[in-house]
Structure 1
Amino acid sequence: MAQVAPSTSSSSFRYNYTYDVFLSFRGQDTRKGFTGSLYNALHQRGIHTFIDDEGLKPGEEITPSLLNAIDDSRIAIVVFSKDYASSSFCLKELVKILDCVDSKGRLVLPVFYDVDPSDVRYQKGSYGVALAKHEKRHNVEEWRKALTKAANLSGCHFKPGYSHHTTTLTKVTCFS
């Protein structure tokens, strides 16, 4: 369990986290590739990371345990992939993650995996299409604001490259 002990002039606080990192991602897009590799790399380095191995089925609500995992994580890494916004679960997670940033000072790192950050920021491309579909059943204004806010944070942009024998080259750009 990771502990952080910030001190102030009037008192000292100790925060306990169940997880160092919470991974938010669209399972169908990146679970068996990028996000799975990221989880393994973090785990190998002893970083206690939450990954939703079960996945949520259509019609299910985000479980209290999933929301608690977000609350109990020190950092969230949000992997924005082409179909991230097609999942109402992912969008609800994102809202909760950003709520924790605002209310608890948590950290979030957006990762744009083979998607342009401006598509997320302005809900263009697959993000615009997904939100238009969601509008038939949901009020998406909160999701739009969350996507814009997250896309304006410092993060990394990953563009999968080409395969050369057994090695796949990837272009990575991080920005602030």
Structure 2
Amino acid sequence: MLTRGEDISQELLKVTEGSGVSIAVFSKDYASSRWCLDELVNILECRKSKGQEVRPVFYKVDPSDVRKQTGAFGDAFAKLDQCKFKDSMSKWRKALYEAATLFRWTYEEDRYVINTH
């Protein structure tokens, strides 16, 4: 549980690690946040090490754009300083690809679509 005054980034990562299920909500600007990308890597590590369920939701973004880092989603990812985050770029790309291939929910034109692949 998050307590007032705690460092939210570290505490949220601990809470994520103790959860049975994580939901990652992808939007067109998701990939512009290195914090979101690091959290996604952590979520997927928990999936592998602890068997945590992961459910991606794609809000007005195509899962294939997340998987391939193309379209508006790819544009946001490209805006990250690739020199500054050189060591992280490959793990972020791998995490985005993996998340986009999981069972997922996609928001399309005022309705949700459940996809198994």
TM-score (norm 2): 0.86
Amino acid paired to 1:73? S
Identify the residue that residue 106 of structure 1 maps to in structure 2: 52
RMSD between aligned alpha carbons? 2.0
State percent identity of aligned pairs: 47
Residue of structure 2 aligned with 1:171, choices 107, 111, 114 = 111
Cα distance, 1:64 vs structure 2? 1.8
Equivalent-residue separation in structure 2 for 1:116 and 1:62 (angstroms): 29
Task: Please say if residues 62 and 89 of structure 1, whose CA atoms lie closer than 8 Å, have aligned partners that are also in contact.
Answer: no
Residues 1:150 and 2:99 are matched in the alignment: yes
CA 143–154 in structure 1, closer or farther in 2 if over 3 Å, else same:
same
Task: Output one character per residue of 1:60-108: Cα deviation in whole Å (capped at 9) or x when no partner.
Answer: x973211101101110011101111111110000000000001110000
- Judging by fraction of residues, say which structure has more strand: 1
Query: Higher relative contact order at CA 8 Å, sep ≥6: structure 1 or structure 2?
Result: 2
Partner SS state of residue 73, structure 1: coil
8 Å contact 1:80–1:113 — kept in the other structure?
A: yes
Alignment-derived partner of residue 133 in structure 1: 79
Secondary structure in 2 matching 1:137: coil
Q: Which of residues 49, 54, 64 in structure 1 aligns to 2:10?
A: 64
Aligned position for 1:79 = 25
Q: Which moved more, 1:99-108 or 1:128-137?
A: 128-137
2: CA distance, partners of 1:142 / 1:62: 22
Cα drift, residue 130 of structure 1? 2.3
Q: Distance in 1 between matches of 2:104 and 2:79?
A: 27
Note the residue ranges of structure 2 that are not aligned, 5 or more in a row: none
Structure showing the higher helix proportion among its residues? 2
User: Unmatched 5+ residue regions in structure 1?
Assistant: 1-17, 19-49, 51-60, 162-169
Aligned length: 110
> Which structure has the larger Rg over C-alpha atoms?
1
The secondary structure found in structure 2 opposite 1:63 is helix
